[in-house]
Chains A and B, each alone.
Chain A
Amino acid sequence: MNMAAYVAIIGTKDNPVYELEIGGGSEKQDKSLGAHLNQFIVHASLDIVEQVQWTSNALYVRSIDQFHELYVSAYITPSNMKFMLLHHPQSSDGIKIFFQEIHELYIKTVMNPFYQPNESIKSQAFDLQVRSLARKLL
């Protein structure tokens, strides 16, 4: 499995609640986009996510966008949080399970009374669990 990927949980105001870079640094460094190429690609894909969410009842909307050899897959929760994954071509089953597992972790985070929705997730436990899921499923 190709490990290079970028995971982001985007809030309702285009704010990143959680981000994770997996695998090596991006091989393509764009001069104007610099080291934040992944963030820009994911941010641009939000347009399509916002369109697709009105035409599909499913939470997992599969691969919605592409930038050269990178694909963007998305998972939209009922509370309009967007789980985005920037990855190389791979099986969508693993990605779907990955998103579902992260969704469960996210629900547990939201149930924490000290956590406000749309706030960034700083929990190390959350981070470790996401990393281990990524290693296992992606």
Chain B
Amino acid sequence: MDITTNFLSRSLSEIASSVSDASGDFSSTSTNYEFEQKLRQLIEHAFCPNVFTLCSDDTETFIKGKGFKNFASFIRSFGDRVERKKSNNPNTSAQHANSQSGRLREDTSSIRFLPMSAVRTPQQWHRDRAWNKENEIELEQEMSYEFAPGGNMEHIRELFEKNIKKWAAEVDDQVEPDSFLDPMLQYFKFLMSGNPIAQQETFSHPVGCLIVLTSHNPHPLATIMRLYKEVNNANFPRFMSREMLHYYLYIHDEDEHDLETSLQVFGNIQRSIGANSKFIRLRSRYIDLAHIQNRQSPSNSEYNRDELKGEGDLYNPSSLLSSASLVNSFSSPTLFSFDSELAKVPEPTWKSPLEILKEEDEEKGSSLKPVIPSEEIQEMESLVTTILFEGIRPFMQRCVNSWEESTVTHYGGFTGKLFSASKKYLGKNHSSSAQGNYDSDYFMYSADKPEAVKRRMADFLFMLREYKRAYEIYDELRKTFCQERAWNYLASCLEAQIICLLMQNRAITPKLRTSVLDKIFNDMVLVYAARLHSLYYTSRSIVIGSLLLATRPGNCIDDAVHWFQRLTNLNVIPLSKFEYAFFITCLAGLFTVRASLPSLDKVINGRERKAAFWFLHSIKNWLDCDHPKMALVCWKFASCIYEDSCWSVLSTHIKAIGAELSSTANDKN
């Protein structure tokens, strides 16, 4: 047997010398494919275009009648997951191949809707709330926590602590260690929810605005002009560009108005304002789910039209048939059938932590539970898909194209290079002109400056998933920001560069890691943590970077853990006990990304022992922050490896810890 082992070792060593390390030639099964796809989708959905809504008064009344607080609340959940319309053309197919694995991935996108009143920086938002409270202004819109901005580590910590407690309580004995990846992804989602409006990045700056009015409006064109002026005169921050797509929505009230008249009015509007407009049909009557549930108790959330009989005339089918031919001639050919079913509007999934916390605090049972016909759900989904793929994305592409030309004119060409060289030379001798366009008093570039425009261009390319070109522009900007000491912009740029590099389908070689990625990462952490003292941006950037790097084959996983360890060693920013315990467990979680490898791959590339080590290491931290259930869960994950180990000291030790934890849990009970 020993001779055999010896022989095998030698034979395999000879074969192994031809195996390349992390060259991207490793099989696609070297990583957890499902986790990688979930992560990539989360990132694509997190960094998505924002569109604010501005509604006429009649729209507000209409939507309140339907049972929603405002139009943005109504439409927001439809933007969380937008599927591209399917077509037969393989170039525009809804699925694109992952070039590494050859597997198909469903192409979904996201678009974030918010009311215009929520387009504020977090500081402004809190200041306005405090001012309103002080002056006893109790406007529902102003005092509501809906669309509250994210980016606050205390709220994230508080919400996540509740969630991890729930998760630990539900974990059963059979669960695998890599199930800890789910809470990690959830934490990442909390970090990205309610992405706060900041000067250094434009992801959360609005790309478009949606102006909404209904068939109740007596003067639609005048209202549109008024709302348009309101958008232009809005009190947005100076660093936010006002160059955005204006999209107009006309809602026809199915219950009150004649379709033919509405279509004529919409036709007039469309002739005046152009193609960026849409007509939809919604019912205005409020349908109370709770009331229907009291009458009957159906098995699922969809209800037949027959169940509504006797509730009054909730909708008038006769008007549908008469206008069928007219409807088909417009862009919304959906015809409401007689078999209308009801469905609940889906819950939005990208609420900020503060919003979720306040919702949980509010009294339950008092909120309205509106349901709408299934056709309206489809209508809204189609609306959002049209806005995103036929409005927002083409607009972003056009902007990028025009900025490319003007950027080449400004920075490229002989004159541009001479200008930048002389500026550089003069800048060294004259410190007063070294500032450039950066306003160091307010830590920003105003929206009209070329640096701000270029940053916006890079962010648009990022959101359009053109990561290669976006990386190049971020790299050009990095040098400018470094020269002008625009530290917040520099750190944000470095963060975006890392994400762009890792989202591309290119191999991450050891040389790329050491010469490029590590350098960018170290600079980013230095600026975010040491210069800017921002725990939020430090955490966010390290979490995204580490998670992405961990999905790459080869030794990338060790580097990813090494990156993540920077979060646990932040000397300049103190962490709470809970955060420290969670981050230590995340180190174990990162190693479990390799847990689902096939057995031979696992022998070569697995990190099971490492994961077990860090799970064990995190036990005492969870006990310190009074989370005994999480300590027990980590012990279970560690004991998967140690309990049956041939290293007797380790297996004895793990059993002793298990006994100690059980007795602690019994004492507490």
Contacts and interface: CB of A to CB of B under 8 A. Distances in A.
Interface string A51-87: 1011101000000000000000000001110000000
A31 B620 contact: yes
A27 interface: no
Interface centre among A14, A16, A54 (most CB of B within 10 A): A54
Interface in A8-27: 11-16
Interface stretch (B109-117, B158-166, B647-655): B647-655
A94 interface: no
Nearest to A40: B613
Q: A interface, by DSSP: helix, strand, loop or mixed?
A: loop
Q: Size class of A's contact patch?
A: 20 to 34
A136 B650 CA distance: 30
B12 interface: yes
A18 to B, nearest CB: 13
Nearest to B14: A57
A33 interface: yes
Interface in B575-610: 603-610
B17 A34 contact: no
B10 interface: yes
Interface string B612-645: 1100111110000000000000000000000001
Contacts of B659: none
B9 A80 contact: yes
Contacts of A34: 653
B617 A16 contact: no
Contacts of A11: 646
A41 B649 CA distance: 13
Interface centre among A30, A44, A45, A55 (most CB of B within 10 A): A44
A93 interface: no
Interface centre among A11, A32, A78 (most CB of B within 10 A): A32
B604 A51 contact: yes
Contacts of A46: 609
B21 interface: yes
A6 B560 CA distance: 27
Nearest to A110: B2
Contacts of A55: 16-17, 19, 21
A78 B9 contact: yes
A101 interface: no
Contact of B608 (A41, A47, A53): A47
Contacts of A54: 12-13, 16, 19, 604
Contacts of A40: 613, 616, 650
Contacts of B19: 54-55
B571 interface: no
A103 to B, nearest CB: 15
Given A30-B620, A43-B647, A47-B608, A78 B6 contact: yes
A120 B204 CA distance: 62
A95 to B, nearest CB: 21
Contacts of A14: 645-647
A32 B558 contact: no
Contacts, number: 81
A29 to B, nearest CB: 11
A96 B16 CA distance: 23
Interface centre among A30, A45, A46, A55 (most CB of B within 10 A): A55
Contacts of B2: 79, 117
Given A13-B646, A32-B616, A41-B613, A47 B607 contact: yes
B134 to A, nearest CB: 48
A82 B641 CA distance: 19
Q: Size class of B's contact patch?
A: 35 or more
Contact of B17 (A12, A51, A57): A57
A34 B69 CA distance: 56
Interface centre among B9, B603, B619 (most CB of A within 10 A): B9
B5 interface: yes
A131 interface: no
B657 interface: yes
A57 B604 contact: no
Contact of B9 (A16, A31, A33, A79): A79
Contacts of A50: 603-604, 606
A32 B619 contact: yes
Nearest to A37: B617
B12 A15 contact: no
A52 B608 CA distance: 15
Contacts of B645: 14, 43
Given A15-B647, A80-B5, A47 B617 contact: no
A56 to B, nearest CB: 8
B178 to A, nearest CB: 15
Contact of A53 (B16, B618, B619, B647): B16
Contacts of B610: 44, 47-48
A50 B10 CA distance: 14
Given A48-B558, A79-B5, A33 B16 contact: no
A117 B612 CA distance: 27
Contacts of A135: none
Given A31-B620, A47-B607, A39 B650 contact: yes
Contacts of B650: 36, 39-40, 43
A36 B13 CA distance: 32
B612 A44 contact: yes
Contacts of A31: 620
A44 B6 CA distance: 24
Contacts of A41: 613
Interface string B1-38: 01001100110110011010100000000000000000
Contacts of A33: 616-617, 653
Contacts of B16: 53-55
A74 B5 CA distance: 20
A98 to B, nearest CB: 23
Given A31-B620, A47-B610, 5 more contacts: A36-B650, A40-B613, A43-B647, A44-B612, A50-B606
7 closest residue pairs by CB, A with B: A54-B16, A44-B613, A15-B646, A31-B620, A32-B619, A32-B620, A13-B646
14 contacts: A15-B646, A15-B647, A32-B657, A39-B649, A39-B650, A43-B609, A43-B645, A44-B612, A44-B613, A47-B606, A50-B604, A54-B12, A54-B604, A55-B17
